[in-house]
Amino acid sequence: MRILLLIIILVPFIGTANAYIDPGSMSIVMQAVVGAVVGSIVAGKVYWGKIKETFQRIFSEKK
């Protein structure tokens, strides 16, 4: 709680960074985005059978 309060108090006093972002930084961001998308697809395919079975069990009981 103290850390959150400290952050709330200090954030308005932060100035500009004047930092340089090189062109290679965007490739790292793109790799992270593509990796997250591919990872989500693979996880979905791996667990799709379990998810489908769970929904079938839930909806078949209500009939």
Per-residue pLDDT of 1-28, as tens digits, reads: 888 888 888 888 888 777 777 878 889 9
| Residue 6 lies inside a defined structural domain of this protein | no
Domain span at 57: 37-63
Residue 35 confidence (pLDDT) above 90: yes
| Residue 28 lies inside a defined structural domain of this protein | no
What's the mean pLDDT in 22-47?
92
| Residue 53 lies inside a defined structural domain of this protein | yes
- 38: enclosing H helix or E strand: helix 24-61
Distance between first and last Cα of the chain: 49
Token pair, residue 56, equals 């079938």
Token pair, residue 19, equals 């930092």
Q: CA nearest 47: which of 35, 37, 39, 57?
A: 39
pLDDT band at 62 (very low <50, low <70, confident <90, very high): low
pLDDT band at 61 (very low <50, low <70, confident <90, very high): low
Residue 19: the pLDDT is 77
